[in-house]
Amino acid sequence: MSDQTRPPGKTTIAPVVLTQIAKLTTLGVPGVNRLTVAPPDVNHLFKPGASEGVKINVENDMVYVDLYVILNRDENVREVSHAIQSKVARAIVDMVGMEIGKVNVHVEDIDYSEPVE
């Protein structure tokens, strides 16, 4: 196939795919305890991921991500948040090839429960 010809058709990425990528990547960042329920929003009541701590919006082929996390105690909030932003952005770009508009991290709480030994 030459560079001049294009294959027929198009690829569509379901929002749930973007939600899962963001969710699993976030949970893999050291210092993240868990995701928490995103605050209710009339526009997001029936969107996938809204109850999982992940909100995804796609506008003009740009992905905008809001993540609602609970971090472990004794973690640097700024460093963990930056790690989440960079890893989620990179995962979406690498896995689906879409551009990132923003990755907003909302630290909803810190888990101060006693560690299990």
Any domain includes 84: yes
Any domain includes 116: no
Any domain includes 35: yes
pLDDT of residue 54: 94
Report how many domains make up the chain.
1
Q: The domain spanning residue 75 has which CATH number? A: 3.30.70.1350
Can you tell me the mean pLDDT for 82-100? 97
Any domain includes 7: no
pLDDT of residue 3: 59
pLDDT of residue 52: 82
Any domain includes 41: yes
Any domain includes 117: no
Phi, psi of 104, deg, nearest 5: -95, 130
Computed over every residue of the chain, the mean pLDDT equals: 87
Any domain includes 53: yes
What share of the chain has pLDDT > 90, as a percent? 68
Place of tokens 């993540």: 67
Task: Band the pLDDT of 91: cuts 50, 70, 90.
Answer: very high
Any domain includes 3: no
Query: Which element (helix H / strand E) includes 33?
Result: strand 32-35
Q: Is the pLDDT of residue 45 over 80?
A: no
Tokens of 81: 């948040």
| Domain span at 20 | 15-111
Task: Band the pLDDT of 40: cuts 50, 70, 90.
Answer: low
> DSSP string of 22-33?
HHHHHHTSTTEE
